[in-house]
Amino acid sequence: MAKQEAVRVVGLSKWFGDFQALKDVNLTVSHGERVVICGPSGSGKSTLIRCVNTLEDHDDGEIIISGVKIGENPSSDKKALAEVGMVFQQFNLFPHLTILENLTLGPIKSRGISKADAERLAMKYLERVRIPDQAHKRPSGLSGGQQQRVAIARSLCMEPKIMLFDEPTSALDPEMIAEVLDVIVDLANEGMTMICVTHEMGFAKQAADRMVFMDGGEIIETGSPDAFFTAPETDRCKRFLDQILRH
């Protein structure tokens, strides 16, 4: 039995002024699938997932989330987009709130659950990302890696079915990258649907079901991690891998 589609992007195009950031992009991700998108800077990776989450408006094409075509009905859009969580390069935590308060704000305001239930949910996900002992600190008291794990927990508190990660380790010091990637690998192993933009190729080999390589606003190549890393089909992808795997 085929898996249900989580996200389908059809003919997606996006311009910023005279610059075309996305050019007729087509991508389908099934529920439970983990897709890693890679490519050089400016290739359209982040723009693509920001369009999926409607943080950027697209100019042409369609975005369909769990069978709902986004942009046709505000009520249906809201319900479908509630299934999508996103973690950014920057942590975007409220500095004046404790970690627990950062995590409970969304569920209380957007999902209408009680403070007590929201705090139970927050502690559950702080356990999941391995920092329950940090609940009563403010963000400034945590390392960058811990703050990014809080940002992941905050998204999980909205109980999404699909998680988008936009280069979640790019703002971290090297020694903090592994702790964040370990948490994302745990989520992947639990079956969370994921689309992750990253340059961390070791993580991609470990966690991805499928690799997507973008350049110039287009999807150039897709494939299993094994095929992608051992026998890339295009010269452009080979050059990218040669460059990134040397570092």
pLDDT tens-digit profile of 66-87?
999 999 999 999 999 999 999 9
**What rounded mean pLDDT belongs to the chain?**
95
Residue 6 within any structural domain of the chain? no
Residue with tokens 């010269």: 235
Quickly state the pLDDT bin for 169 (edges 50, 70, 90): very high
Which residues, listed in sequence order, are joined to residue 194 by a DSSP beta bridge?
34, 163
Quickly state the pLDDT bin for 1 (edges 50, 70, 90): very low
For residue 193, count other CB atoms closer than 10 A to its CB: 24
Mean pLDDT to the nearest integer, 165-178: 92
CA distances from 44 to 40, 93, 108, 194, 223 (A): 9, 26, 34, 18, 18
Residue 146 within any structural domain of the chain? yes
Counted domains in the chain: 1
Mean pLDDT to the nearest integer, 147-160: 96
pLDDT value at residue 244? 86
Mean pLDDT to the nearest integer, 12-22: 97
pLDDT value at residue 166? 96
pLDDT value at residue 245? 80
pLDDT value at residue 23? 98
Residue 140 within any structural domain of the chain? yes
Q: Comparing C-alpha atoms, which of 64, 78, 59, 60 is closest to residue 16?
A: 59
Residue 208 within any structural domain of the chain? no
pLDDT value at residue 246? 72
Mean pLDDT to the nearest integer, 28-55: 96
Q: Where are the alpha helices (DSSP H) in the chain?
A: 45-52, 74-81, 99-111, 115-128, 144-156, 174-189, 201-207, 225-230, 235-245
Residue 94 within any structural domain of the chain? yes
Quickly state the pLDDT bin for 247 (edges 50, 70, 90): low
pLDDT value at residue 136? 97
Residue 82 within any structural domain of the chain? no
Structure tokens at 95: 């500095």
Quickly state the pLDDT bin for 2 (edges 50, 70, 90): low
Q: At 163, phi and psi to the nearest 5? A: -115, 130
Residue 100 within any structural domain of the chain? yes
What's the domain range around 98? Answer: 89-159
